[in-house]
């Protein structure tokens, strides 16, 4: 059994094969850190200053190429202030599956005028160094790209400092972006299952033995069949001692009476029932029905006129106020006071 396990382990280790998968990636965080950090536009752009002019670079967009490489595009803005529209530029780079720069191109947009560079390719003719041909090729491509943009920009007679140095800002982004492109290798382990040869001990088959082993017996005891256990019998009723003479004469009947009998038989302890509310008296007031709305309208209770008796409905009390009473007294005695005043005036004038 030990030899078989070792053989299987060696065969499994021999069938394990390690392969490597490489790809070209862009370290966006390193690229943003070299520009000052992705702190503008909600973490999607980096703003910096070059030659007393403000520029803004957005995070690069990366897409795979059909040949296995990648295509990287970056947007760069020249910030001109609040009262002027910004200038825009784009930088496009193509990388081979092994990480080498294939081509580069850039374009500028200055208030409706568009300037596009030639497609600069990093061919074998651009390589002058034998030790690092890919780096020398990238430097050559960046130099040709900026030179082509600068020559076309001068033809537009641009004199604004931020626009004149715009190609230099593009070259700045080109250098930092090229350093952020990396060629990574990701190991992948693939385990393959291989069958051992026919003559190996691992493939040796053993006859199937489905018969269970015999049960172990105790040699000290004879192999005899034990008698079956006796059938279970119903339990006998418990025996109780006979009661004495007094208990026989007066048997205890407390177990036959419920414990709450006194509470049920005593009416004083039971709560009295709540009295029922008296029925509402039937309304005897005369009513009539409105023909328009169909509502019932109560009529006033009018009693017949009795000329010989006292009126059933009391008369309303006098509504004369105190001021009206004082006015009537003044009108009644005012004349006499006026005559008295005239007599006093005449007597005084005569003296």
Q: Which ranges of the chain would DSSP assign to H, the alpha helix?
A: 2-15, 28-34, 133-155, 161-164, 166-180, 245-249, 261-265, 322-350
pLDDT above 80 (res 172): yes
State mean pLDDT over 329-341.
77
Per-residue pLDDT of 250-278, as tens digits, reads: 445 444 444 454 444 554 555 666 677 66
Instruction: Give 167's contacts (C-beta < 8 A, 6+ positions apart).
Output: 108, 146, 149, 150, 153
Q: What SS3 class is residue 38?
A: coil
Q: Report d(CA 32, CA 142) in Å as an integer.
A: 20
- Mean pLDDT of all residues in 59-77: 95
Q: List the one residue out of 137, 157, 92 whose CA is nearest residue 118.
A: 92
The answer, yes or no, to whether residue 146 has pLDDT greater than 90, is yes
Give how many domains the chain has, as a whole number.
1
Distance CA 290, CA 217 (A): 110
pLDDT of residue 247: 45
Which domain, by its residues, includes 94?
21-188
With 0-12 / 13-18 / 19 or more C-beta atoms within 10 angstroms meaning exposed / middle / buried, residue 322 is exposed
Please check whether residue 242 lies inside any domain of the structure.
no
Is pLDDT above 80 for 161?
A: yes
Q: Which of 20-24, 80-84, 205-209, 326-330 has the lowest mean pLDDT?
A: 205-209
More confident: 229 or 176: 176
For residue 27, give the nearest of 182, 147, 170, 152 by alpha carbon: 182
* E strand or H helix that includes residue 188: strand 181-191
Tell whether 51 is covered by a domain. Answer: yes
> Distances in Å between the alpha carbon of 40 and those of 205, 228, 305, 325?
72, 93, 101, 94
- For residue 178, the model assigns a pLDDT of 95
Which tokens go with 50? 């070059």
Higher pLDDT, 187 or 54: 54
Question: Average pLDDT in the 212-221 region?
Answer: 50
Q: Is 33 contained in some domain?
A: yes
pLDDT tens for each residue of 230-240: 555 555 555 55
Rounded distance, CA 139 to CA 120, Å? 11
What per-residue confidence (pLDDT) applies to 130? 45
272 three-state secondary structure: coil
pLDDT over threshold 50, residue 15: no
Label residue 141 by pLDDT band (50, 70, 90).
Answer: very high
pLDDT tens-digit series, residues 70-124: 999 999 999 998 888 999 999 999 999 988 999 999 999 998 889 998 999 876 5
Q: What is the pTM for the complete model shown?
A: 0.49
pLDDT in the model for residue 284: 66
Lowest-confidence region among 8-22, 29-43, 122-136: 8-22
The token duo for 295 is 């509502």
Report the 10 Å Cβ neighbour count for 70.
20
Per-residue pLDDT band at 285 (split at 50, 70, 90): low
pLDDT at position 308 is 67
Q: Identify the band that residue 57 occupies on the pLDDT scale cut at 50, 70 and 90.
A: very high
Least Cα distance to 174 among 60, 25, 49, 23 occurs for 60
**3-state secondary structure (DSSP) of residue 68:** coil
Q: Which two tokens stand for residue 255?
A: 């177990």
Q: Does some domain include residue 216?
A: no
Section 286-290 average pLDDT: 80
| Residue with the two structure tokens 């595009």 | 73
Residue 87 lies in a domain: yes
Q: Is 39 within the bounds of a domain?
A: yes
Residue 93 token pair:
């780079």
The structure tokens listed for 106 are: 């850039």
Give every CB contact of residue 292 below 8 A, 6+ residues apart in sequence.
Answer: none
Reported as a pLDDT band with limits 50, 70 and 90, residue 343 is confident
Q: Contact at 8 Å (CB) between 197 and 179?
A: no
At what angle are helices 166-180 and 133-155 packed, to 10 degrees?
160
pLDDT band for 25, please (50, 70, 90 cuts).
very high
The one-character DSSP state at 234 is P
pLDDT at residue 40 greater than cutoff 80: yes
Name the residue among 107, 228, 86, 239 with its Cα closest to residue 162: 86
Residue 163 inside a domain? The answer is: yes
Does residue 167 lie in a domain region? yes
């Amino acid at each position: 059994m030990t030899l078989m396990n070792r053989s299987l382990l060696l065969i499994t280790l021999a069938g394990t094969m390690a392969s490597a998968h490489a790809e070209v990636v862009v370290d966006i965080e390193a690229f943003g850190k070299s520009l000052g950090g992705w702190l503008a536009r909600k973490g999607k752009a980096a703003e910096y200053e070059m030659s007393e002019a403000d520029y803004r670079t957005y995070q690069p967009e990366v897409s795979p190429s059909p040949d296995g490489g990648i295509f990287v595009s970056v947007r760069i803005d020249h910030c001109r202030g609040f009262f002027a529209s910004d200038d825009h530029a784009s930088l496009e780079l193509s990388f081979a599956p092994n990480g080498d720069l294939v081509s580069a191109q850039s374009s500028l947009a200055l208030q409706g005028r568009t300037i596009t560079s030639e497609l600069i390719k990093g061919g074998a003719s651009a390589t002058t160094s034998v030790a690092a041909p890919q780096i020398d090729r990238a430097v050559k491509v960046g130099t040709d790209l900026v030179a082509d943009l600068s020559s076309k920009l001068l033809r537009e007679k641009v004199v604004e400092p931020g626009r004149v140095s715009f190609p230099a800002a593009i070259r700045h982004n080109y250098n930092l972006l090229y350093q952020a492109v990396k060629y990574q290798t990701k190991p992948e382990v693939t385990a393959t299952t291989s069958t051992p040869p026919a003559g190996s001990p691992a493939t040796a088959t053993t006859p199937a033995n489905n018969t269970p082993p015999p049960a172990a017996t105790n040699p000290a005891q004879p192999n005899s069949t034990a008698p079956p256990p006796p059938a279970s019998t119903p339990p006998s009723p418990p025996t109780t001692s006979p009661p004495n003479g007094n208990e026989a004469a007066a048997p205890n009947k407390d177990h036959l009476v419920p414990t709450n009998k006194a509470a049920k038989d005593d009416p004083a302890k039971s709560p009295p029932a709540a009295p029922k509310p008296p029925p509402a008296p039937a309304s005897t007031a005369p009513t009539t029905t409105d023909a328009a709305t169909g509502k019932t309208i109560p009529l006033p209770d009018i009693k017949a006129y009795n000329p010989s008796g006292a009126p059933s409905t009391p008369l309303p009390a006098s509504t004369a106020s105190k001021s009206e009473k004082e006015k009537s007294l003044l009108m009644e005695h005012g004349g006499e006071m006026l005559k008295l005043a005239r007599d006093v005036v005449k007597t005084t004038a005569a003296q």
